[in-house]
Amino acid sequence: MTGDPEPRYVLHRVTPSEWVINDRRYPVDDPRNVVGCVYEYADTEVEVVWLRDLPLSARYANAQEVLEEVARIQDPSRATRPIPIPHLPPLYAT
């Protein structure tokens, strides 16, 4: 995690083996607030049902790993400046 005082994504335990990942950018009564549901599949594996279209796996080692992956993929600081591509003149046909 980034160590933010108020992270955008939080993990809430619903039952001893179920969690939800909430996006604090949206109010609690907004359906977009819940990003995914995490279910303990085995002692060393959890399964995720994503409620957003995210290019993430459905299985992880634990719920905290799922939260870290969501925060990593949605972090806007991952974006980089455009990389300049050198332009070459067109080739002449002979």
Q: What is the pLDDT of residue 4?
A: 59
pTM as predicted: 0.73
Q: What is the pLDDT of residue 94?
A: 66
The 10 Å CB-count burial string (b at 16+, else e) for 43-80 is eeebebebbeeeebeeebeebeebbbbbbeeeeeeeee
Q: Give every residue of the chain whose pLDDT is below 50, as ranges.
A: 1
Among 42, 38, 44, CA closest to 13: 38
- CA-based angle 35:61:11, to the nearest 5? 35
pLDDT digits 0-9 by tens, 25-48: 999 999 999 999 999 988 899 999
Q: What is the pLDDT of residue 76?
A: 65
